[in-house]
């Protein structure tokens, strides 16, 4: 049976029905989903019955999975766990705990894994436990934002290379969000300032909170330019806000969108989201030697 695609926003994002991502899927159905992914950048699936195993299996249809690093409670697994629940005991983690301070970085507009030499193609986030209020995830369409730039700004972005760093972005939240061991694990990466979709040729601004500075520019001048791009591209007209229900699966294109979490009462309510992250096919630009060595 063919899937149904219902656009949710004039610029991007669609709800997919007629697909069970938790069961084996034929190639024709997945091809329709992949085509919708390339066209809409953000796909919403309701009422899915995913386990960890079936989420991993479906995610691998998009490409190789990243393994969570030391900064995430699910380190060493294909999951980047987004939760206020202790992975061992199930108890609510106190707000002052470093794990919750680290998660405050998710409230910043960002693209997953842009701080890695090979950035992410897409992320798949499934809702296992959701609070009764709050906790939306917002998305910004970076393709529409690029289209809205004037010709002079588009020309200025051509050929620019930007350093992305988790240490930089988490440092804007707190100086205790990352341990020295975590900082050493992810030293950063260089990325192009724009990304082009290889299927449809559409170009997107590639920025976000992990973008630290422009290579070859004075540090503060580059950061001012990145701040302007981030503010411009996350205007209300470029946004979609997703209100989660248990059983939702959302897939987004990290090449073409920014996203951010929004607040909920982390003391009163429980939340458990499981994210799998698919790596892209290669770097956006040649990396400096220190990053290439760190990636091995």
Q: Which domains does the chain have, with CATH numbers?
A: 4-295 (3.60.130.10)
Q: What digits encode the pLDDT tens for the residues 45-58?
A: 999 999 999 999 99
Share of the chain above pLDDT 70, in %: 96
**Which region among 9-23, 57-71, 125-139, 160-174 has the lowest average model confidence (pLDDT)?**
57-71
**Which region among 77-91, 151-165, 238-252, 270-284 has the lowest average model confidence (pLDDT)?**
77-91
pTM to 2 decimals? 0.94
Q: How confident is the model at residue 180 (pLDDT cuts 50, 70, 90)?
A: confident
**Mean per-residue pLDDT over the chain, rounded:** 94
Q: What digits encode the pLDDT tens for the residues 197-235?
A: 999 999 999 999 999 999 999 999 999 999 999 999 999
Contact between residue 238 and residue 140 where contact means Cβ atoms under 8 Å apart: yes
Share of the chain above pLDDT 90, in %: 87
Q: What digits encode the pLDDT tens for the residues 94-129?
A: 999 999 999 999 999 999 999 999 999 999 999 999
Closest CA to 98 of 180, 221, 214: 180
| 74 pLDDT higher than 70 | no
| 38 pLDDT higher than 60 | yes
Q: How confident is the model at residue 181 (pLDDT cuts 50, 70, 90)?
A: confident
- Residue 296 is predicted with a pLDDT of 39
Residue 162, strand partner residues: 191, 214
Q: What digits encode the pLDDT tens for the residues 157-166?
A: 999 999 999 9
| 93 pLDDT higher than 50 | yes
If you average pLDDT over residues 186-190, what whole number do you get?
92
| 295 pLDDT higher than 60 | no
- Residue 68 is predicted with a pLDDT of 77
If you average pLDDT over residues 159-184, what whole number do you get?
91
- Residue 183 is predicted with a pLDDT of 86
- Residue 185 is predicted with a pLDDT of 85
Q: How confident is the model at residue 187 (pLDDT cuts 50, 70, 90)?
A: confident
């Amino acid at each position: 049976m063919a899937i149904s695609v219902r656009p949710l926003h004039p610029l991007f994002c669609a709800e997919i029905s007629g697909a069970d991502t938790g069961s084996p899927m034929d190639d024709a159905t997945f091809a329709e989903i992949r085509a919708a992914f390339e066209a809409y950048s953000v796909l919403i699936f309701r009422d899915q019955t995913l386990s960890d195993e079936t989420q991993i299996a479906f995610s691998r249809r998009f490409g190789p999975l990243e393994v969570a690093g030391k900064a995430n409670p699910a380190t060493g697994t294909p999951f980047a766990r987004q939760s206020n629940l202790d992975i061992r005991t199930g108890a609510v983690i106190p707000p002052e705990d470093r794990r919750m301070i680290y998660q405050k970085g998710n409230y910043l507009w960002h693209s997953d894994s842009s701080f890695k030499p090979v950035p992410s193609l897409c992320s798949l986030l499934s809702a296992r436990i959701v609070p009764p209020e709050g906790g939306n995830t917002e998305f910004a369409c970076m393709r529409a934002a690029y289209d809205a730039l004037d010709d002079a700004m588009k020309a200025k972005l051509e050929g620019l290379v930007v350093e992305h760093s988790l240490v930089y972005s988490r440092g804007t939240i707190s100086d205790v969000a990352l341990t020295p061991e975590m900082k050493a694990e992810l030293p950063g990466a260089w990325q192009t300032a724009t990304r082009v979709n290889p299927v449809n040729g559409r170009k997107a601004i590639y920025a976000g909170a992990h973008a630290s500075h422009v290579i070859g520019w004075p540090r503060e001048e580059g950061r001012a330019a990145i701040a302007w791009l981030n503010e411009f591209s996350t205007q209300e007209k470029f946004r979609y806000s997703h209100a989660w229900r248990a059983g939702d699966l959302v897939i987004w294109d990290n090449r073409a969108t920014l996203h951010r979490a929004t607040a909920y009462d982390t003391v009163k309510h429980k939340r458990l989201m499981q994210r799998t992250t698919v790596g892209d096919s290669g770097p956006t630009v040649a990396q400096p030697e220190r990053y290439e060595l760190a990636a091995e």
